[in-house]
Copies of this chain bind each other. A is one copy, B any other.
Amino acid sequence: MEITCPVSFTDFDRVLLGHGSGGKLSRRLIDTIFYPAFKNEWLEQNHDGCVFPMNAGKLACSTDSFVVDPIFFPGGNIGDLAVNGTVNDLACCGADPMFLTVGFILEEGLPLSDLQKIVYAMKIAAEKADVRIIAGDTKVVAHGQCDKLFINTSGIGAVPPDVCISPSKAEPGDVVICSGNIGVHGITILSTRESLGFETTLESDTASLNKMTSKLVKTITDVHVLRDPTRGGVGTTLNEIAEASKVKIELDEARLPVPDAVRAASEILGLDPLYIANEGILLVILPEKHAGEAVALLQQFSEGRQTCVIGRVLEPGGASVSMKTIYGNHRIVTMLTGEQLPRIC
């Protein structure tokens, strides 16, 4: 999705060390870029932090730093990725995300127009996810001491009283549902790295998933596990769940939603789509009796149109993930070892 941002800087306007001083230039950055995009009653408290009222109940919080390279890629940029990433971590706790904080680390010399585009993408992503950015911080390091910019987002959400989602709750008899195509974000980022010399028409699937999860957990009360399989991919995420729940999980390769473009690129690069990072899909584990209802519910959302059952939870003990291949035999799916794709998110 291409976002058109109102740009008020020229190519000569760059981030200076003084923008991180806490003094006049910091204030100017806030007044010209951050406030116009994020402005809300909470942020206007203009304090060291933000004070807000909260009802009694369960809260969720999460934090994530984003170092994706390149900072602009087909389908998004580091800004919407940073908002969606933390929104989705909260959503996977069963929470309705409410508030985000944002911490920028900027490299001296970064074009202010780039920063403005990224901040604008954050504004749009926050509006879509219905979250407010209520506190922020900006540091500037000298040229060469970081790579363009890094963003940390941390978030707070409210967990409805009856909702209890945990990676340790997968049970024998559950099914594993995947809400969309696998490997799209990772292959998109790889395609932009010049040295790899391949092209694709793919776009990152970065999106906020909290509207899907919110409807799901409020409709089906015994959802056991929610996870967004980002770094490490579906394979690693399911291994973490198998370990936490002490169960065996079996995937069905024939059902895995791997788009042709991902499959082709993976073969060229020698990668396994099960370990490629995703930013806009969800793994749902719940009792088989709810599978049909859950799939139909998720398919109502544009991000969930491809939702399908991809596996099931077998007997407890062993804590492993296997896959029935398209040839009918089985192979073990381990956790990712080493690093496939640095700086994918």
Residues of A within 8 A of B (CB): 16-18, 20-27, 45-67, 69, 88-90, 92-95, 99, 101-105, 134-137, 139-142, 144-147, 150, 152, 154-157, 159, 166-168, 227-228, 230-232, 236, 240, 244, 275, 277, 335-340, 342-343
Closest approach, in angstroms, between the C-beta of A216 and any C-beta of chain B? Answer: 16
The 21 listed contacts between A and B (C-beta, < 8 Å) are A22-B232, A22-B336, A23-B337, A48-B93, A49-B60, A49-B155, A49-B157, A51-B59, A51-B159, A52-B58, A53-B58, A53-B59, A54-B56, A61-B99, A61-B101, A63-B136, A63-B154, A66-B139, A67-B139, A142-B342, A156-B156
Query: Chain B CB within 10 Å — which of A46, A51, A95, A135 has the most?
Result: A51
Query: Chain B CB within 10 Å — which of A141, A142, A145, A275 has the most?
Result: A145
Indicate whether A22 sits within 8 Å of B236 (C-beta atoms), given known contacts A48-B227, A140-B342, A141-B343.
yes
A147 contact from B24, B54, B65, B145, Cβ within 8 A: B145
Q: B46 touching A62 by the CB < 8 A rule?
A: no
A339 contact from B17, B92, B146, Cβ within 8 A: B17
Q: B23 touching A232 by the CB < 8 A rule?
A: yes
- Chain B neighbourhood of A337, CB < 8 A: 18, 23-25
New contact pairs (9) apart from A50-B62, A101-B154, CB-CB < 8 Å: A23-B232, A23-B275, A48-B228, A53-B57, A63-B152, A65-B137, A140-B342, A145-B146, A154-B154
Q: A150 touching B146 by the CB < 8 A rule?
A: yes
- Chain B neighbourhood of A92, CB < 8 A: 47-49
Q: A23 touching B159 by the CB < 8 A rule?
A: no
- Chain B neighbourhood of A336, CB < 8 A: 21-24
Closest approach, in angstroms, between the C-beta of A246 and any C-beta of chain B? Answer: 13
